[in-house]
Structure 1
């Protein structure tokens, strides 16, 4: 640094000494003759600036964060005053003050859509047993009977949802578009939101708007208008009766359903507490949206069987029978009691395993069969 300053001072003195009594043309010729020294000086100056940039932290993003923090603590009236005062200044403050009310209103509406137990049931899904569930995603053979849809706890669609190949296939379908997978898992042991159509609609809408916040103003105009103009802490979210109208607005060609693709998962319909027909109609509405696939699942239930009779269906308890058989054979045969039974009477022991597979058909091989291994084998041993 000291060498640079000395050379800069020397060059400055020389330039002043040479400039005395010189015309503009002679000054220009002098600069041309001293071009090498000038280029060397410029290179050192560039190097100095680069080193200073390395030493000093970048202010990019820092000012925005500080401004956002300050604006968050202000009321709507103060933000509006700042916006008016800085309107003709062409400053970053005006740009931020103008967009901040919109962003804050979007954030408040999304927060109102969220409820604590939204993902609780999904978080309880067991990881698939190694080597299982692959058959669900394979093309059917001539002998496969794909004529019904069956879903049991921790089985069926949940297996499809967590399977890695599911996401790979959906990404192929989405192509260059962004893929989203909103989901909802009904649960009759949970809260009212976890077993109602209101919870289903709210959870799916929350997941859509969370990644497409500019849509909020058009999809929920009344809610937007109220929260934008006031400091109210809350506003009623759309009721289940209003939700179909809200989702109808997504059919606009200009909305995010044209730039993204969605796969909706609705699991455990048998645990739904409302009218079957209302749930069927809402799922059919989702299926009619552009760039959308919908996968719903339930145990055999006449109401849903009639409602979805015209839709493609999978009988998952048939497709997963091989997985259940492999799991039972792998887990149960290793049990000391079963090993003793196999040694004493192989045919009878194999019969017990077959019965376990039959009884577990359609039940999670990752959940229920664990219970079978821990409890039923002891019962079978005592019976024998």
Structure 2
């Protein structure tokens, strides 16, 4: 019908015009498509459609004076015009949809304006939609939902009080009343491990919460938006930038038509350049929320649930001020949770609030009664020793002090006692031995691990701890269950791993689950995946407080946590990346590439930490590379680039250079104290380009400088490559830029995207000096770079 309104005109002339538009459009498509199998199929389809139209026009003699007089009927004319217009529009829409990039869409639009109205209109719609999608993709980040998904559902019979009127010895501000009529900020305060995140997720999922917010919104709509800070997560999971991006992504995904108004700078940059768009600044995000607040009549009000503000990285007051500014708008209200840290206490004092650890006693009792009281062994004790058994459960509730995590750990200890058939006095001793504080509880659990298992448990905890610490540098922030199982297995070999079938992989993961329980005291847990609960599962710390406990260096001095001699965590993690890449390659080359990039990152770290070691990825990767077939890999993918390079060069050395593994490079190249011969200099020049542009790992300079932070070319690697004859002015073709460049120019460009502190500027100055001493051209580009990057430094 829309097509009819656009194209439909009364009378035979309008109908004939619509017919000619359809035929001309088919002719245009058939004469302009690129050749190939897809073209042949499309040509056949369009030829059939055109033939049918032409046959129909002949039958009704549309273009003749003696045309079928039924065509004079107004109803028939409108129907035919509408059908022809819809046909034209749909054919055009499908063809335009096949154009993936903005530049191509803009060229079509420019050519169609004034000649093909339908094409021009549809192309403009696609341009707008493509811009919307690209900006939403830029706001999105891979771990945007990770924390939400990792939070367990509330236990049965818990948190029923949350939306009920306050009662008991510890009154709180009525959250139910605030949701339907309050404003500003409501603060959920609670000790570490008291269940704040679980409560926040529970509230978001409750149907009653939405009913109450609906009353607050009145005649307008409302949106319930959430963000869960995660201190153990990536930068985006614990920063103001991540908070802003998540909120904007959720809102604008529902209302994409607002993007040009809400993020005008991003829209203009993308629309004008067709390239990668910068993320919004702090000022731009504040402007964005101000604009959104003025659109209440169009899109309604907003209630934000912000969990874990104490896990914010940076100045807490900056995060608090950001939330205050948002909540100052009458169309925005915020429920925020945090530990009672001083900044939050000072800032939220006097606001509506509740202290969670004071309100969960009944919930904890319900949990203990179900987990402990409902256990078959405990039921027998309750029959024989009702008073003593009941007292044990009541003591668990008392000692928890409102901390759910503590009582979960305590219940696990008792269940172990049940498995050991402890008598009632032995169970009493278990409860009495439980320390009241979480960190002491963790140590207590580790001390109870069988001594023969402690070294293995320490190894598992150390590997997962180091992997989690490095998450901001990695594409996969969690240790995978299968990855840890592979390096934990005694009989690991490249041949054996490549031969594992799905059942064997699942068995390995199931075995590791049991080993985690017996060797880490439950401090490491598994988080299952919907796709395959075992093979695609993750190994996680049971709670943030465990990671905090291990972050104290003194913890690793405990007898129960001393790591095994010769532990090379970075080397083992590099093999995790390789093994998972091997397993992913036949099914998902993009996923395999991400695993492999992580493995190479760890390989570079291993090379620096253990220079004499020969156990990291670079020493064992060649057989995997030899299995890659250029014709089976994507031309523009990492695995395809490596497969092609494997035919003509020492590709492992190239990868080592790109990963900063200088010791491996030294051991696999001919290094002369006097420099290389002319015949060898080309190879060193090639390696210098690899070191600055990373063409194998990322596909060129432009592809990685917009990604994760990269430390860039090291001083030692630059010295080695240039001293052996690497030419900084040699011209290479950069496929990412589709133009020529040099190692020197590529390095200058790469450093422009690194956030610098004083030590970084000193390193850059030293690396630049090495380039210049080897004859790098002093161009205007370099002068601008030196002024921009070094002007704030005393080293310039």
Q: TM-score range by the shorter chain?
A: 0.7 to 0.9
Cα deviation for residue 204 of structure 1 reads 0.8
Contact 2:147–2:230 under 8 Å retained in 1: yes
TM-score (norm 1): 0.74
Check if 1:248 corresponds to 2:277.
no
- The secondary structure found in structure 2 opposite 1:296 is strand
- The secondary structure found in structure 2 opposite 1:314 is strand
Aligned counterpart in structure 2 of residue 321 of structure 1, from 357, 361, 368: 361
Deviation track 1:166-189 (CA, whole Å, cap 9, x = no partner) reads 223223333443331111101111
The 2-side partners of 1:267 and 1:362 are apart by 19
Cα deviation for residue 290 of structure 1 reads 3.6
What does residue 247 of structure 2 align with?
204
Check if 1:72 corresponds to 2:100.
yes
Cα deviation for residue 368 of structure 1 reads 6.4
What does residue 731 of structure 2 align with?
none
The 2-side partners of 1:308 and 1:348 are apart by 44
What does residue 279 of structure 2 align with?
237
Check if 1:259 corresponds to 2:302.
no
The 2-side partners of 1:60 and 1:150 are apart by 60
What does residue 5 of structure 1 align with?
none
What does residue 92 of structure 1 align with?
118
Cα deviation for residue 112 of structure 1 reads 0.3
Pair 1:359–1:95, CA change in 2 (3 A): farther
| Correspondence list, 1:1-384, <5 A | 62-63=90-91, 65-72=93-100, 75-86=104-115, 91-141=117-167, 143-146=169-172, 149-151=188-190, 152-153=194-195, 154-232=197-275, 234-240=276-282, 242-252=284-294, 255-256=295-296, 259-364=299-404, 370-378=408-416, 381=427, 383=429
Contact 1:145–1:318 under 8 Å retained in 2: no
Contact 1:212–1:256 under 8 Å retained in 2: no
The 1-side partners of 2:311 and 2:350 are apart by 22
Which has the greater radius of gyration? 1
The 2-side partners of 1:301 and 1:340 are apart by 44
Cα deviation for residue 258 of structure 1 reads 5.2
Cα deviation for residue 291 of structure 1 reads 2.2
The 1-side partners of 2:143 and 2:361 are apart by 32
Deviation track 1:111-166 (CA, whole Å, cap 9, x = no partner) reads 10000101101012222333322211001137442177324444332332232322
Deviation track 1:15-41 (CA, whole Å, cap 9, x = no partner) reads xxxxxxxxxxxxxxxxxxxxxxxxxxx
The 2-side partners of 1:280 and 1:125 are apart by 24
- The secondary structure found in structure 1 opposite 2:198 is coil
Contact 2:238–2:312 under 8 Å retained in 1: yes
The 1-side partners of 2:281 and 2:248 are apart by 12
- The secondary structure found in structure 2 opposite 1:137 is coil
Cα deviation for residue 355 of structure 1 reads 2.5
Moved more, 141-150 or 122-131: 141-150
The 1-side partners of 2:108 and 2:330 are apart by 39
The 2-side partners of 1:352 and 1:239 are apart by 55
Contact 1:150–1:316 under 8 Å retained in 2: yes
The 1-side partners of 2:198 and 2:222 are apart by 24
Deviation track 1:315-353 (CA, whole Å, cap 9, x = no partner) reads 223333222211211221022443344344333322221
Pair 1:223–1:149, CA change in 2 (3 A): closer
- Structure of higher RCO (CA pairs closer than 8 Å, 6+ residues apart): 1
TM-score (norm 2): 0.38
Q: Which runs of 5+ in 1 are unaligned?
A: 1-41
Contact 1:82–1:97 under 8 Å retained in 2: no
Q: Number of residue pairs matched?
A: 324
Cα deviation for residue 71 of structure 1 reads 3.9
Contact 2:293–2:332 under 8 Å retained in 1: no
